């Protein structure tokens, strides 16, 4: 097993970029750089009910709040157009983006008219895998990512998802129906729930394979400070000691041999083998993944709670829907904070993201940073090398061993916990009525 102290050291060196956010008074993000490839992220922060383990910016749905929000999201899209941006990819996250299907379709249609978008990825929940929704999403969305988390009915009840979305068996049938509608249907799963046994995990894997989805993502349970208490009350205290064993079971079952049903798309994403082989024959037509930051290092983000990364600067949009609407209606973007990153921190970010995506391009690194990986990040490079993380390490690239892939899972888990800490900071300044929506009247945020 990998040393927790060694893992912590590596994570700290790569997660630095999400610290020291300072107030931002700029009315809009900067314009694009010529020749730079960008993706657009759009955030829709509404859910029918809030899950106890989720740290993303989200609020209980009401049409009264959502309709003005969608109108302003379209207005902000046009602000980005006015700045001179173009995009070949759009990722829509949440919350539950399909919460108002017609509003979502209007937004996607506008984005496709105004930009050179070739692929759209969107998140949803199992109760929206119904013909009336699927018919409208078909042709608009290329990759639909559905949050399943587990097919085990006991775990679904613990997560308060059984009553919302039905049994694991009914969700599986919905996935089978939905899969043919899209270029790729991704099934989002979570592993290492306290009550999850190896038997439950193996059954989840069997059902993922049976569902026939083109892609599946297995995230480790992430106990960030804002959800630790709600997690403990609902699913129990997280035990990281067995996480590596669970990850090994997942990797071996899905991508463990020449005849395995899936292959690794990232350290925790798995693409169906025949889909991956077909995509490989068409350059530029590879499988999209949830962690769009692997493929797009720079991306504007619109919507409440969006986080933009451009050049050496990160911008954070307000987490308040009320303040977001007010900013857009006054002709401004809703920027509340920003952070500047040194060359070293940008190298750390590149190192982590490309290795999480299974391949670090050394030639690109040298062009962008004017040094080798070993010279730019000697401690991080040696840590990974001494840990047995590198499979190939030559003049062209670095790739990972199975041990290296698990190391990247741990690093990304801790990285996203760090991002969630930033989200907690942003939520701490929400107006009282919005805090009450999330935490109940009179409840402190930490509760």
With vertex at residue 396, the alpha carbon angle to CA 395 and CA 401, rounded to the nearest 5 degrees, is: 95
Chain mean position to CA 44? 14
Closest CA to 434 of 69, 39, 23: 69
Please give the full DSSP string across 220-261, using - where no structure is assigned.
EP---HHHHHHHHHHT----GGGHHHHHHHHHHHHHSSTT-S
pLDDT in tens, 329-376: 999 999 999 989 899 989 998 999 999 999 999 999 999 999 999 999
pLDDT for residue 282: 45
Structure tokens belonging to residue 166: 């039905």
Q: Are 55 and 224 within 8 A, CB to CB? A: yes
pLDDT in tens, 93-106: 999 999 999 999 99
pLDDT for residue 6: 52
114-to-62, 91, 141, 332 alpha-carbon distances in Å = 29, 15, 16, 20
What is the Cα–Cα distance from 185 to 355, expressed in whole angstroms?
24
pLDDT for residue 99: 96
> For the residues 167-188, what does the mean pLDDT come to?
96
Q: Calculate the average pLDDT of the chain.
A: 87
Query: Which of residues 443 and 108 earns the better pLDDT score?
Result: 108
What is the Cα–Cα distance from 111 to 282, expressed in whole angstroms?
25
User: At residue 4, does pLDDT exceed 70?
Assistant: no
Structure tokens belonging to residue 182: 């899209």
User: At residue 12, does pLDDT exceed 60?
Assistant: no
Place of tokens 């402190």: 444
pLDDT in tens, 110-134: 999 999 999 999 999 999 999 999 9
User: At residue 254, does pLDDT exceed 60?
Assistant: yes
Sign of CA dihedral 46, 48, 50, 51: negative
pTM across the whole model? 0.89
In which band, very low, low, confident or very high, does the pLDDT at 20 lie, cut at 50, 70 and 90? low
What is the Cα–Cα distance from 172 to 151, expressed in whole angstroms?
8
In which band, very low, low, confident or very high, does the pLDDT at 13 lie, cut at 50, 70 and 90? very low
Share of the chain above pLDDT 90, in %: 68
- List the alpha helices (DSSP H) in 37-143: 63-82, 101-114, 131-137
pLDDT for residue 203: 98
Q: Which of 95-109, 138-152, 162-176, 425-439 has the lowest mean pLDDT?
A: 425-439
The full length of the chain comes to 447
In which band, very low, low, confident or very high, does the pLDDT at 442 lie, cut at 50, 70 and 90? very low
Query: Which of residues 7 and 135 earns the better pLDDT score?
Result: 135
> For the residues 253-268, what does the mean pLDDT come to?
94
DSSP one-letter code for 194: T
pLDDT for residue 440: 55
Query: Radius of gyration of the chain from Cα atoms?
Result: 21
What is the Cα–Cα distance from 403 to 379, expressed in whole angstroms?
18
Torsion angle in degrees (nearest 10) through CA of 292, 293, 296, 302: 80
Q: Which of 61-75, 224-238, 302-316 has the lowest mean pLDDT?
A: 224-238
What is residue 191's three-state secondary structure? Answer: strand
In which band, very low, low, confident or very high, does the pLDDT at 432 lie, cut at 50, 70 and 90? confident
pLDDT for residue 224: 64
pLDDT for residue 419: 75
In which band, very low, low, confident or very high, does the pLDDT at 40 lie, cut at 50, 70 and 90? very high
What is the Cα–Cα distance from 309 to 345, expressed in whole angstroms?
13
Query: Which of residues 418 and 41 earns the better pLDDT score?
Result: 41
> For the residues 403-418, what does the mean pLDDT come to?
90
Q: Are 312 and 7 within 8 A, CB to CB? A: no
User: At residue 447, does pLDDT exceed 90?
Assistant: no
End-to-end CA distance of the chain: 34
């Amino acid at each position: 097993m990998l040393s927790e102290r060694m893992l912590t050291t590596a994570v700290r060196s790569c997660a630095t970029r999400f610290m020291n956010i300072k107030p931002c008074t700029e009315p809009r993000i900067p314009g694009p750089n010529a020749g730079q490839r960008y993706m657009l992220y759009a955030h829709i922060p509404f859910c029918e009910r809030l899950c106890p383990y989720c740290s993303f910016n989200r609020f209980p749905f009401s049409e009264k709040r959502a309709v003005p929000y969608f109108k302003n999201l379209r207005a902000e899209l046009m602000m980005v157009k006015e700045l001179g941006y173009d995009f070949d990819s759009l990722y829509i996250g949440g919350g539950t983006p399909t919460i108002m299907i017609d509003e979502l379709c209007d937004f996607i249609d506008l984005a496709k008219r105004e930009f050179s978008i070739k692929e759209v990825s969107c998140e949803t929940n199992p109760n929206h895998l119904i013909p009336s929704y699927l018919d409208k999403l078909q042709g608009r969305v290329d990759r639909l990512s559905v949050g399943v988390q587990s097919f085990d009915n006991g775990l679904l009840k613990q997560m308060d998802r059984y009553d919302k979305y039905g049994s694991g068996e009914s969700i599986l049938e919905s996935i089978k129906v939905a899969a043919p509608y899209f270029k790729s249907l991704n099934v989002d799963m979570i592993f290492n729930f306290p009550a999850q046994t190896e038997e439950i995990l193996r059954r989840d894997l069997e059902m993922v394979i049976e569902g026939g989805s083109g892609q599946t993502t297995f995230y480790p349970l992430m106990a960030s400070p804002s959800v630790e208490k709600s997690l403990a009350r609902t699913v129990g205290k997280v035990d990281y000691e067995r996480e590596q064993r669970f990850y090994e079971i997942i990797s071996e079952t899905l991508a463990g041999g020449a005849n395995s049903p899936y292959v690794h798309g990232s350290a925790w994403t798995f693409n169906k083998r025949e889909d991956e082989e077909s995509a490989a024959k068409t350059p530029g037509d590879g499988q999209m993944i949830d962690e769009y930051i692997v493929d797009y290092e720079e991306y504007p983000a619109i919507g409440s709670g969006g986080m933009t990364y451009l050049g050496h600067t990160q911008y954070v949009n307000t987490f308040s829907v009320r303040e977001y609407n007010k900013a857009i209606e006054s002709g401004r973007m809703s920027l509340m904070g920003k952070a500047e990153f040194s060359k070293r921190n940008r190298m750390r970010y590149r190192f982590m993201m490309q290795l999480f995506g299974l391949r670090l391009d050394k030639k690109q690194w040298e062009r962008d940073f004017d040094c080798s990986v070993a010279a730019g990040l000697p401690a991080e490079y040696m840590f990974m090398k001494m840990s047995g993380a590198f499979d190939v390490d030559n003049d062209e690239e670095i790739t990972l061993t199975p041990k290296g892939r698990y190391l990247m899972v741990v690093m990304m888990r801790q990285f996203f916990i760090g991002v969630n800490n930033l989200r907690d900071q942003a939520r701490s300044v929400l107006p009282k009525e919005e805090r009450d929506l999330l935490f109940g009247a009179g409840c402190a945020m930490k509760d």
